[in-house]
Amino acid sequence: NAGVTQTPKFQVLKTGQSMTLQCAQDMNHNSMYWYRQDPGMGLRLIYYSASEGTTDKGEVPNGYNVSRLNKREFSLRLESAAPSQTSVYFCASSPLAPSTDTQYFGPGTRLTVL
């Protein structure tokens, strides 16, 4: 099993450009999450999906949109990138409803917005 995979690994954008971060898991988990991690700020939840067909806002959703394409895939879209969105983005999944079990993280996407 590959676990949680993310693409791309690195990305540089100019302000105003858009892009989609892809995430997939092969563990048949119900719940999936997107976090961003910044120095001194720790991991902050952007959006999550408790199950296929549902999505909810986390702590810092502004400037992002998500799509739970199917049970395996959960994408994060930046419609108009801003320098404040420079960060490391992690996707995670867990087998049960949010917060009742451990989270499995992907390797991360390092995004720089110029």
Partner 1 sequence: SQKIEQNSEALNIQEGKTATLTCNYTNYSPAYLQWYRQDPGRGPVFLLLIRENEKEKRKERLKVTFDTTLKQSLFHITASQPADSATYLCARRRDDKIIFGKGTRLHILP
Q: Which residue in 29, 76, 90, 93 binds partner 1 (CB under 8 A)?
A: 90
Q: Does 95 bind partner 1 (CB under 8 A)?
A: no
Q: Which residue in 43, 63, 72, 73 binds partner 1 (CB under 8 A)?
A: 43
Q: Does 1 bind partner 1 (CB under 8 A)?
A: no
Question: What are the φ and ψ backbone dihedral angles of 87, each rounded to 5 degrees?
Answer: -175, 180
Q: Which stretch binds partner 1 (CB under 8 A): 18-26, 34-42, 62-70, 75-83?
A: 34-42
Question: What are the φ and ψ backbone dihedral angles of 26, each rounded to 5 degrees?
Answer: -115, 25
Residue in this structure with the two tokens 């892009």, named with its chain if needed? 19
Any idea what the Cα angle at residue 52 is, between residues 50 and 53, rounded to 5°?
100
Cα(110)–Cα(87) distance, integer angstroms = 6
Q: Which residue in 54, 80, 84, 99 binds partner 1 (CB under 8 A)?
A: 99
Give whichever of 41 and 69 is closer to partner 1, judged by the CB atom.
41
